[in-house]
């Protein structure tokens, strides 16, 4: 891989290099630099405004910076009641505190708020996370929504032109009225922007109060039958294909580097062989199945038993919520 440049200086910003090595997020890396914990070629630095190359020797707390790890992506079924952050000032439980301890250090691709649930993508590569979050990537986020109130399909169709709510402009949204259930309605909502609390605010603008919000897809990756609070790694080969050359290059993804951290969810080296003694809560995507299909028959050992699960042709968990009527 050729050496990158930033402006007239070769290499990459040191905080970015630290983040790619799995030390910390870029923001946390900058804080470590400001605290005097990072040295380059034996000299302690105090500013992240520095580019380094592979020839530079970087140490953190006196320890050499690990080599860059392979880019990895995980699907996680986020439960309600967890916040998407590494630490919460209010002391609320976080998704990262609940993840299996043997996983590498991960960051989320976007967020799901405290009361939202469903598919959350996690990666060890900050460059990939940023690339997948960009609206310019054009990846669709799809949700199943239960909301209190009544709405017509005609009103939902008006969202296709975009809408302004409280001075914030939201882009086109596809929304389908699936069914009415008591005082609630079930909707399928698709969007490509993913602004903060976008679904809740837009539906509130239509007179609906969201009381359940489940993300079932993010681009080509689907929640499928991934069990609640379970994380599953996407095979390296599948990840490479689903990202495509252009997006992988934009993200600066590395599919050939060494695996670091939790080794029992290896993607490309184990030929799909299920390993013994896996920590509860970790699943490995079945070899030969697409991570976005939501349909392959898969085995699960989370409860100490092996069971076969039926495919879900609707692409969503079954039967946790009503499916659209055909």
Count of Cβ atoms closer than 10 Å to residue 253 Cβ:
21
Instruction: List the single range of 61-70, 128-137, 224-233, 304-313 with lowest mean pLDDT.
Output: 304-313
Q: Which range among 33-42, 80-89, 265-274 has the greatest average pLDDT?
A: 33-42
3-state secondary structure of 90: coil
Please, which pLDDT band fits residue 321 given cuts at 50, 70 and 90? Answer: very low
Q: Which of 88, 113, 303, 312 is catalytic?
A: 113
Its sign, for the CA torsion 134, 268, 75, 188, is positive
Tokens of 173: 């949204």
Paired residues of 58 in beta bridges: 40
CB 168 within 8 A of CB 195: yes
Q: For the structural domain made of 5-64, what CATH number should be given?
A: 3.10.290.10
CA–centroid distance for 62 within its chain: 32
Note whether 5-64 and 140-218 share their fold.
Answer: no
The label of the residue with tokens 């916040």 reads: 83
pLDDT by residue (tens digit) across 298-317? 333 343 332 333 333 333 34
Vertex 307 angle, CA 304 and 310, to 5°: 145
pTM of the model: 0.73
Does 315 or 256 have the greater pLDDT score?
Answer: 256
Query: Based on the number of CB atoms within 10 Å of its own CB, is 143 exposed (0-12), middle (13-18) or buried (19 or more)?
Result: buried
Give the domain 140-218 fold: Alpha-Beta Plaits (3.30.70)
Q: What is the full DSSP assignment across 239-262?
A: HHHHHHHHHHHHHT--SSSPP-S-
Q: Is the pLDDT of residue 186 over 50?
A: yes
Tokens of 258: 């060494």
pLDDT by residue (tens digit) across 191-249? 998 888 999 999 999 999 999 999 999 999 999 999 999 999 999 999 999 999 999 99
CA–centroid distance for 323 within its chain: 24
Strand order in the sheet with 63-64: 43-44, 38-40, 58-60, 63-64
Q: How far is CA 205 from CA 77, 152, 170, 230, in A?
A: 28, 13, 12, 34
113 is catalytic: yes
d(CA 307, CA 314): 21
The domain limits of the chain are 5-64, 73-133+221-308, 140-218
Is domain 73-133+221-308 given the CATH code 3.40.50.1220 in the classification?
A: no
- pLDDT, residue 258, reads 80
Please, which pLDDT band fits residue 68 given cuts at 50, 70 and 90? Answer: confident
- pLDDT, residue 109, reads 93
Percent helix, strand, coil in the chain, to 5, is 20, 25, 55
Of residues 205, 172, 174, 207, the one with CA closest to residue 188: 174
Tokens of 278: 């896996």
């Amino acid at each position: 891989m050729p050496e990158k440049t930033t402006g007239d200086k070769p290499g990459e910003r040191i905080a970015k290099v630290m983040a790619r090595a799995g030390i910390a997020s870029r923001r946390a890396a900058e804080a470590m630099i400001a605290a005097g914990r990072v040295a380059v070629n034996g000299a302690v630095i105090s500013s992240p405004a520095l580019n380094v190359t592979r020839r530079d020797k970087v140490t953190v707390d006196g320890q050499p910076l690990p080599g860059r790890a392979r880019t990895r992506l995980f699907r996680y079924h986020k439960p309600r009641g967890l916040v998407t952050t590494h630490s919460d000032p209010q002391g609320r439980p976080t998704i990262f505190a609940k993840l299996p301890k043997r996983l590498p250090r991960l960051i989320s691709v976007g967020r799901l708020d405290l009361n939202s649930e469903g598919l959350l993508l996690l990666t060890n590569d900050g460059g990939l996370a940023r690339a997948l979050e960009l609206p310019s990537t054009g990846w669709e986020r799809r949700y199943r929504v239960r909301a209190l109130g009544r709405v017509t399909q005609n009103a939902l169709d008006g969202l296709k032109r975009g809408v302004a709510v409280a001075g914030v402009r939201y882009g086109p949204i596809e929304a389908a009225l699936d069914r009415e259930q008591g005082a609630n309605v079930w909707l399928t909502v698709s969007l490509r922007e993913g602004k903060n609390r976008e679904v809740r605010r837009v539906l509130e603008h239509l007179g609906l109060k969201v009381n359940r919000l489940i993300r079932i897809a993010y681009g080509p990756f689907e929640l499928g039958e991934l069990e609640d609070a379970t994380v599953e790694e996407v095979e390296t080969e599948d990840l490479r294909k689903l990202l495509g050359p252009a997006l992988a290059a934009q993200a600066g993804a590395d599919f050939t580097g060494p695996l670091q951290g939790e080794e029992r969810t290896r993607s490309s080296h184990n030929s799909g062989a299920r390993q013994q003694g896996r920590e509860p809560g970790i699943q490995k995507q079945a070899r030969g199945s697409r991570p976005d299909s939501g349909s392959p028959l898969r085995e699960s050992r989370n409860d100490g038993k092996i069971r076969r699960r039926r495919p879900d042709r609707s692409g969503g968990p079954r039967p946790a919520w009503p499916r659209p009527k055909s």
